[in-house]
Structure 1
């Protein structure tokens, strides 16, 4: 990881420095090709040769490098940047493994130093606030995501051909919540550490399951990645300014790249294509032709039912196994529901204490309630207890790496 990161930092610093001296579109295309080529090469090596050959976090720091080069060329970054600032921005340790993808202009903000200099807030207050986000993220990962992963793993161990339809649906929603709390938890931990060392809080998840459409969902889910694709792929391609045909093409490109970014196995590409199709249908066939209220109902259905189904495609790389799982989800051919009619209730009995807080935290107003009151003494006491509960849980487990480490 370190040699690749150092090489990429030095090369991008030198090209950025040259762009400050004289803007050159050909130079921009060249460095973008180097960065994208580096990412593609390591993705292929990691997939087909050895997974250890793909440096941890390469997707995230390469995307930061690409945005930096494009912002320098466009003039958004209008002052020459010192090497130490470039290197620190690219390699910020809380974000380097799985994001969020901070832009350079946000990196330049340092509210802790500004507020401390103005006497508005102490350094310790920033550390305390960052710790609150960190502990909440840790709890989401350790107490919810890691335990839900056991349910998904158990379903795979049983074999998709042997699970009932109710358990198949429970598994789909369990994996949905596992992925959500795993990555939202990481994002809160990374953002919390950033706040502790003086950087602004980066919102990477904005209550996506409260969305009214799939396109809105992906503006709120991994928001920094979605905004990156919008600003550095979709808009440069023309966005929605060149007619419906071109807009649909631009969306297809974005979602194919999104699928490839997550992995080069066919299920990820299929996942991206499915989301592209749903978004196009929503945008052009459903929402313009329905009353606003009914359109909202359809959008909610897509978010709460179709999105979990797409996560199944995301999770299962083998197409035969994927087909079997969907046969269990939709037993229209006489297979699925009666395979083992007790497995659903058995697993509900085991995992309800994990599923229930997960469902509660998915409700948008719950997180908003905590965030508005996070400085209250009662929450401080609860968070101390929650932290030690997390430590206790970690000490008794074998450890479960973050899902997005592999991307």
Structure 2
């Protein structure tokens, strides 16, 4: 079951919200935990014991760590969590027929950050219910965003003093309304943009990379870039919307990355909660940029090496991560010296190189990747008959979704929403987006989110 399942949208969420807000504040934590465990059990019943055991082990380690700030205990916790993640990530490489649990990376990353923040003194009190909710919370357990523990500890309704019932009721209605807006926009991005562009990308794969023209190859690169973006941003908005409905603050996981001024900035704005996690728990502990240029390059190499390995063990992920590392290093140490040149080259990198790297990200076979690259850059004639107008036929079917994708990447649209989100016209448009998405879902089989198995 996913967020765009009609049963989830029209039955489970309304029933849960009604019960959640009828219950006293001090009971809501337990309801959220039970609902989160149930949600994960529906999706991945085999592995519910794994995440439960991991939570219990981390709780025991946290209790020891709260009594004595020991690097040994912290190291044991990191090793146990990383070993669990490596086992599932590397199982297929050793011929083990084991499916990666949904969202395994996200709750493992949360467990590591919890222990690290506890060691640093950022967490003052270890409470099993809040800790378990931080790990299990159903809006985030499958594909993030990777919130920090204070997101749960300091912002949830059950940790605050209750105000008057009238004031609470008004506040509840407002936060549910805000959450529904985010959820509706995320649903539209997923169902009406990402899912339709995924059909375009699949059509290109069906034709065969060797049989597509260069314009269609570039169209495919950009369509896949948009598909990945709106699939994951759509999920992030839906997850954030559910959190807002429950009284949590909004988490921005994407911030108009395709309008970034460089690839470095692009990856600060793309899946920013993952990027900040690697920054705070890998890059900074290694020394960041405080120990000279060579050490900074090494630290960046470690971060991007781990990022590539996290996405998968096939060569394409290593190439993808290596290219990004190389360009970021060049931007940081060479291009940054020439401000005007950097402004031009940085934009070109985002608009041209990023779509190429997403092609590398998408195609696992080295042979198929080579063919696609030769279609993007036809420096060698591979002697296959190609319909030179094939991209025009694709545009006839998919131009509307490409236009929507381009429109939703423009920062001005986000700025307009922030200023006019309570405007009647804005609410009407979001209402229409929601029901268009529901109509599309009712008449088709929805595609699962692309990041579910990361």
Shorter-normalised TM range: over 0.9
Distance 1:299 1:263, change over 3 A: same
2:155–2:247 Cα contact (<8 Å) kept: yes
Which of 315, 318, 325 in structure 2 is aligned with 1:276?
325
How do 1:392-407 residues align onto structure 2 when only pairs under 5 Å count? 392-407=439-454
* Root mean square deviation of aligned Cα: 1.7
Greater CA deviation, 110-119 or 218-227? 110-119
1:246 to partner: Cα distance = 0.2
Which of 95, 102, 107 in structure 1 is aligned with 2:140?
95
SS state of the match for residue 334, structure 2?
helix
Match of 2:101 in 1: 55
Give me the whole-angstrom Cα distance separating, in 2, the residues matched to 1:171 and 1:234: 34
Q: Normalization by structure 1: what TM-score?
A: 0.96
Greater CA deviation, 234-243 or 23-32? 23-32
Please list the CA deviations of residues 342-369 of structure 1 after superposition, one character each: whole Å capped at 9, or x if unmatched: 1011101110000001001111121221
Please list the CA deviations of residues 209-243 of structure 1 after superposition, one character each: whole Å capped at 9, or x if unmatched: 11111111101000000000000000000000000
Please state if 1:313 is matched with 2:363. Answer: no
2:211–2:384 Cα contact (<8 Å) kept: no
Distance 1:244 1:14, change over 3 A: same
Q: Would you say how many aligned residue pairs link Structure 1 and Structure 2? A: 404
Which of 306, 315, 339 in structure 2 is aligned with 1:257?
306
1:305 to partner: Cα distance = 0.5
How do 1:8-407 residues align onto structure 2 when only pairs under 5 Å count? 8-46=54-92, 49=95, 53-77=99-123, 79-110=124-155, 117=163, 119=167, 122-288=171-337, 290=338, 292-335=339-382, 339-407=386-454
1:165–1:328 Cα contact (<8 Å) kept: yes
Give me the whole-angstrom Cα distance separating, in 2, the residues matched to 1:51 and 1:375: 51
1:148–1:175 Cα contact (<8 Å) kept: yes
Distance 1:360 1:338, change over 3 A: farther
Give me the whole-angstrom Cα distance separating, in 2, the residues matched to 1:388 and 1:328: 39
Greater CA deviation, 357-366 or 28-37? 357-366
Q: Normalization by structure 2: what TM-score?
A: 0.86
Give me the whole-angstrom Cα distance separating, in 2, the residues matched to 1:189 and 1:109: 22
1:110 to partner: Cα distance = 2.1
1:53 to partner: Cα distance = 2.5
2:210–2:384 Cα contact (<8 Å) kept: no
SS state of the match for residue 254, structure 2?
coil
Give me the whole-angstrom Cα distance separating, in 1, the residues matched to 2:400 and 2:145: 30
Give me the whole-angstrom Cα distance separating, in 2, the residues matched to 1:345 and 1:156: 17
1:164–1:336 Cα contact (<8 Å) kept: no
Please list the CA deviations of residues 19-67 of structure 1 after superposition, one character each: whole Å capped at 9, or x if unmatched: 0011110111111000001001011125654675311110000000000
Give me the whole-angstrom Cα distance separating, in 1, the residues matched to 2:282 and 2:145: 18
Give me the whole-angstrom Cα distance separating, in 1, the residues matched to 2:162 and 2:431: 26
Provide structure 2 residue ranges, at least 5 long, that are not aligned to the other structure: 1-46
Please list the CA deviations of residues 168-187 of structure 1 after superposition, one character each: whole Å capped at 9, or x if unmatched: 00000000000000000000
Structure 1 consecutive aligned stretches of length 4 or more whose deviation exceeds 6 Å = none
Greater CA deviation, 331-340 or 319-328? 331-340
Please list the CA deviations of residues 181-205 of structure 1 after superposition, one character each: whole Å capped at 9, or x if unmatched: 0000000000000000011111100
Give me the whole-angstrom Cα distance separating, in 2, the residues matched to 1:393 and 1:383: 15
